[in-house]
């Protein structure tokens, strides 16, 4: 995508990240901590801005497909803020994300529909198995979250995202333990790491936003010509 548009996406997601963090601290009222803005606000705003800019700048997809990925990134940012603040991934955000990702599957020029559906199913099964093997290690919301990520990334991409998320989570946990900010029994939300893993996979995998985009665009163009008889 052209640089000015990528910069605009980055600025928009910086604002979104800051607003999402503030919203998570005051809503819903019965769970609101009403915590003042701080380091987490700045970090989430910066992380969201980098994510929005990177996806837009990296994408070689048609503009509408890039816009679809950015639109799906919006609830992911909101979910990250909520999970960090309230340790939960509410269905009020998960359900529209799942529906949006499912609606994008038949039209996504970069991820085959079969790969997307298999990715969602296998990712949920894999995370469910981890939840059984590692009690309290995987929350129910994480199972719902990996379903749309599988649709967005395909079956091979979503496993890369989960691996990156696990690596980031482990490193962060060790750093927090070393600084004595958490204990061995402390719960660290996994949702934000899944979102980070998905964004990193999107940006680094040529098959999604890069080389495959050209194939997808040419396929759509050929389909359009066939419909119009051109």
Please state the separation of Cα 162 from the chain's center in Å.
11
Q: What does the DSSP 8-state code read for residue 35?
A: P
pLDDT-above-90 percentage for the chain:
68
- Give the start-end residues of each E strand in 86-143: none
**Burial class for 186, CB neighbours closer than 10 Å (0-12, 13-18, 19+):** exposed
Q: What is the pLDDT of residue 34?
A: 83
In the DSSP assignment, the letter for residue 37 is P
The pLDDT, as a whole number, for residue 214 is 44
Question: How much is the average pLDDT of 168-194?
Answer: 86
* Band (186; pLDDT cuts 50, 70, 90): confident
Does residue 222 have a pLDDT over 90?
Answer: no
Average pLDDT of the chain, as a whole number = 88
Tens digits of residue pLDDT in 80-123: 999 999 889 999 999 999 999 999 999 999 999 999 999 999 99
Q: CA 79, CA 24: separation in Å to the nearest integer? A: 9
Give the pLDDT mean for 199-213: 82
Contact 120, 147 (CB under 8 A): yes
Peptide bond into 28 cis (omega under 30): yes
Confidence of residue 177 (pLDDT cuts 50, 70, 90): confident
The CB density around residue 112, as the number of other CB atoms within 10 Å, is 16
Taking phi over 0 as left and psi of -120 to 50 as alpha, with beta for the rest, 90 belongs to beta
Question: What is the reported pLDDT for 181?
Answer: 76
Mean pLDDT, rounded, for 9-22: 97
């Amino acid at each position: 995508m052209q640089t000015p548009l990528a910069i605009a996406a980055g600025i928009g997601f910086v604002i979104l990240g800051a607003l999402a963090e503030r919203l998570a601290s005051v809503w819903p009222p019965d769970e609101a901590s009403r915590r003042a803005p701080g380091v987490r606000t700045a970090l989430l705003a910066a992380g969201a801005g980098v994510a929005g800019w990177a996806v837009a700048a990296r994408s070689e997809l048609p503009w509408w497909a890039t816009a679809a990925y950015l639109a799906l990134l919006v609830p992911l940012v909101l979910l990250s803020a909520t999970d960090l603040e309230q340790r939960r991934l509410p269905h009020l955000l998960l359900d529209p994300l799942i529906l949006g990702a499912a609606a994008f599957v038949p039209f996504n020029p970069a991820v085959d529909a079969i790969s997307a559906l298999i990715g969602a199913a296998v990712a949920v099964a894999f995370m469910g198995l981890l939840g059984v093997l590692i009690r309290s290690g995987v929350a129910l919301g994480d199972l719902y979250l990996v379903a749309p990520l599988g649709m967005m990334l395909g079956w091979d991409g979503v496993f890369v995202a989960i691996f990156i998320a696990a690596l980031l989570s482990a490193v962060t946990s060790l750093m927090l333990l070393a600084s004595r900010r958490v204990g061995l029994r402390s719960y660290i939300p996994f949702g934000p790491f899944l979102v980070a893993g998905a964004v990193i996979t999107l940006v680094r995998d040529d098959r999604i936003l890069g080389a495959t985009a050209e194939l997808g665009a040419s396929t759509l163009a050929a389909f359009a010509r066939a419909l119009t008889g051109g």
